[in-house]
Structure 1
Amino acid sequence: MMRSMFSGVSGLRVHQNKMDVIGNNIANVNTVGYKKGQMTFQEVFSQVIRGASAPQGGKGGTNPQQVGLGVNIGSINTIHTKGPAQRTDNPTDLMIDGEGFFVVSDDTNFQNRFYTRAGNFSLDRDGNLVTPDGFKVLGYQVDGKGEITDQIGGIVVNRSETVPPSATTKMNIRGNLDARIAEGEKYTTDTVIHDSLGNSYIVRYKFTKGAKDDEKNTKWTMSVDRIIEQSTGNYVKCDGEDKVNFGDNNSVNLLFDANGKLIKIGEHDIQDDKEANDKIKVLLNLKEIAFNKDVNDEDINDAIKPAGNFSEITVFDFSNKDNLLKLTQYANDMDAKPYTKDGNTSGVLNGFAIDASGVVEGIFTNEERKNLGQIMLAKFDNSMGLQKLGNNFFIDTRNSGEPQLGKADNSGYGAIAPGTLEMSNVDLSMEFTEMITTQRGFQANSRIITTSDEMLQELVNMKR
């Protein structure tokens, strides 16, 4: 038999295998997160007819004489280049803009782990973030305060989750007090605060313009006018005789210089020195609430005690740059107003969002936000060493290296793009070109077999 015939047979086999790889690539051209395969050839062992010889005497050296014995599969690699993005606007569709992989599991202890680039996830009836096959997406859990921990588990968006109410503790007053009004004129404004049960109360403040001193500094007095429960409209009172402890005695003096700049709060001078400003803190003591206005008997009869508890509310606090007092006295419209920095009613989960770092943030009906978990990613030293399992899943092998777990948008894992899917990285133009060369290679190898057969036929015919 002729060696060329067996070489042709080996060529047919490997070209058929390459056609299988090309066909699988084209079949998965629209598969989410699919990574194409690439096949290469290598020659098989060659038979040495005559070995090489060194130069000796007057003769030169000779090269080896070898006859190849065909072709074999060199490699079938998975190409892990990033596929193009497809926008879906579905909040549970996720794409990794980097080298990371999502980690999923079907094990109750989350020990049996698989890796995927396909981020077409959804929520099941229990709020678990899952793949189309029901595998849970793993991530870092949160504690009772919503802080991300190192504990690994499934990402859960529980629609029945609630956030408790919180009492108001910080307030910010900003705006302008009109310098054009006459001495003794008053301006009132209000804001809403909450107690520990989430009940809301309207606190009305009164600004009264005072006289100017010899240095043309203007004094204003700020006081609490009244506090009303928002749900009933009743006044709030306390059992004791003390009024609301605002500053020293239910009011605080504000001193503005001739340029309209606030220079003094009560007895505290406002300086450019940050350390001095850190000491300025005026509290509205609502542990024992009362009204501070001449009210008639009907108003008193409608007075109530707060249902929940209050803490001391910081009104002026320079120790926190986000809570700085931004109050001026210019010849402009009166728009000074207090703004609460915290405190709210209870709320239930109304929606969620996923950011670039994979943090799943719950959005509640009271407009509060709370972390529900953070999606975990994995990366490998050799991603080509991963083994495909089907269903867009990979598992690690001895040559891929151990999975390195971490958080998105950090240390090369890649950022997460919500509302987007990664498309297949198959290039149809290249696949069709490879298909043509593979077809021609298969055709040429088949000609080797037919030609070798004709030569054998001629050899057989020699005996006639």
Structure 2
Amino acid sequence: MLRSLNSGISGLRSHQTMLDTTGNNIANVNTAGFKGQTTQFQDTLSQMRQGATGAADTTGGGNPAQVGLGVQVAGTSTNFTQGSAQSTGRATDMMISGDGFFVLQKGGEQILSRAGNFDFDARGRLVSPDGGIVQGRMAVNGQLPAGGGLQDIVLPLGLTAPGAATTTAGVQGNLPRGAAVGETRTLDREIFRADGSSDTLQLTFTRTASGWGVNGSSAGGTGNATLTQNAAGALNGGTLNVGGVAVDLSGLTGYAGLDTASIGEQNGTAAGVLQTYTLGADGALTGRFSNGAQQVIGQIMLGQVANPAGLEKVGSSGYALTANSGAMGLLTPGTAGVGTLAGGMLEMSNVDLSQEFTNLIVAQRGFQANARIITTSDEVLQELTNLKR
């Protein structure tokens, strides 16, 4: 049987694989994080018709005479170039600008992915559409651990930030110089205990012949101070300690005609409930709480391998490690080599439609040409069978 028949069949099979690969690329042109593939061909074994001969004094050397036996698919290579960015406005959508991969935990196996279209499940875990749990590090009391293994990224419902005790407060404004001796001014300000419960800081200012006397009180204790007034109306404000709260009186003045004294800022807070969060370029998830506090909740980590082309596609835009991909290293976003994270954006497919349609034409013509090999070989065999007539 003619060798060309087998060569033609191998060509049909190989170009069919090229058509399959190209069709898959085109089908995933709108798949977030998809990386296109190309088909690589190589020839098969060649049949030796005549071996090579060495050169002699009286004769020249001869080259080998070989006949090829067709083509085969050497492999498919994945193109990991960066896809275009698409703004979605969703806080849970994330895009890697660099060469890193999201690390997902699914069924006890670690999966790498470039698709950042995540959402939260009923347990508050950040997950991919097929249920892979995004991995990273969770903060403890607002502090990220220096090392350790990967953890599920979780933003539980009702997450609270602890309250903070008030330790400082400030008084500003003006106490009227024309107030009569013995006249008082009372100022109140809500402050907080260490457990986040509310307390009241009360300051009573009593006019004296030389200035003002100050009496402070709260549930934590009391304190007293004296403010001396000079001829220009300035007060020698200092610091008054009231039950562990250092009250700064230096912002007070004592000019005539103004009665504007008030207790301004204090540094305590009540306990707060998580209201929203933001994603930093370093992968840190920072929560904003109802008490105004901002606290790091966790940090998304990125994976990196020495040979991304050696990764194995496992579906759902995921990749698994192989013997040729190398071991996975875990790095913080922003580290050289893995890239940074951008929230509210997705990396789209890197498929170039113009190139894919060109490949489609090339594959089609290659398929047709190999089909012609078979029909031509069939005609030759037909001629041989007709010799008997």
Give your verdict on TM over 0.5. yes
Is the partner of 1:457 in helix, strand or coil? helix
Question: TM-score, normalization: structure 1?
Answer: 0.71
Q: Structure 2: which amino acid aligns with 1:389?
A: V
Is the partner of 1:20 in helix, strand or coil? helix
Return closer, same or farther for 1:189/1:98 CA change in 2, 3 Å cut-off: farther
Deviations 1:196-245 (A, max 9, x none): 34315366697x9x99xxxxxxxxx8975766xxxxxxxx5788xxx525
Q: Compare 162-171 and 370-379 and name the one that shifted more.
A: 162-171
Return closer, same or farther for 1:222/1:104 CA change in 2, 3 Å cut-off: farther
Distance 2:228 2:39 in 1: 82
Q: CA deviation at 1:192?
A: 5.2
Return closer, same or farther for 1:85/1:334 CA change in 2, 3 Å cut-off: farther
Return closer, same or farther for 1:341/1:66 CA change in 2, 3 Å cut-off: farther
Deviations 1:304-356 (A, max 9, x none): xxxxxxx343749xxxxxxxx9999xxxx999987546211121122222222
Partner of 2:288: 363
8 A contact 1:168–1:340 mirrored in 2: no
Distance 2:212 2:355 in 1: 76
Distance 2:113 2:219 in 1: 61
Q: Structure 2: which amino acid aligns with 1:126?
A: R
Return closer, same or farther for 1:164/1:237 CA change in 2, 3 Å cut-off: closer
Q: Structure 2: which amino acid aligns with 1:160?
A: G
Deviations 1:26-68 (A, max 9, x none): 1111111111111111111112222233332243333222211
Tell whether 2:57 aligns with 1:57: yes
Calculate percent identity across the aligned residue pairs: 40
Unaligned runs of 5+ in 2: none
Distance 2:18 2:72 in 1: 11
Distance 2:219 2:28 in 1: 72
Tell whether 2:376 aligns with 1:379: no
Partner of 2:151: 153
Partner of 2:39: 39
Partner of 1:428: 353
Unaligned runs of 5+ in 1: 212-220, 228-235, 267-281, 288-310, 317-324
Is the partner of 2:301 in helix, strand or coil? strand
Is the partner of 1:384 in helix, strand or coil? helix
Q: CA deviation at 1:184?
A: 9.6
Return closer, same or farther for 1:189/1:94 CA change in 2, 3 Å cut-off: same
Distance 1:128 1:17 in 2: 40
Partner of 1:114: 111
Q: Compare 424-433 and 193-202 and name the one that shifted more.
A: 193-202
Is the partner of 1:148 in helix, strand or coil? coil
- The 5 Å alignment of 1:228-307 reads 236=218, 244-245=223-224, 250-251=225-226, 282=239, 284-287=240-243
Distance 1:252 1:426 in 2: 75
Question: TM-score, normalization: structure 2?
Answer: 0.83
Deviations 1:68-89 (A, max 9, x none): 1111112201211111111111
Tell whether 2:203 aligns with 1:201: no
Tell whether 2:352 aligns with 1:419: no
8 A contact 1:348–1:365 mirrored in 2: yes
Q: Compare 370-379 and 384-393 and name the one that shifted more.
A: 370-379
Give the counterpart of 1:124 among 118, 121, 126: 121
Is the partner of 1:33 in helix, strand or coil? coil
Return closer, same or farther for 1:11/1:365 CA change in 2, 3 Å cut-off: same
Q: Compare 407-416 and 448-457 and name the one that shifted more.
A: 407-416
Distance 1:28 1:405 in 2: 28
Deviations 1:160-203 (A, max 9, x none): 12223221124578x999xxx98999999986533334315366
8 A contact 2:47–2:69 mirrored in 1: yes
Name the count of aligned residue pairs: 377
8 A contact 1:191–1:340 mirrored in 2: no
Deviations 1:280-308 (A, max 9, x none): xx5x4222xxxxxxxxxxxxxxxxxxxxx
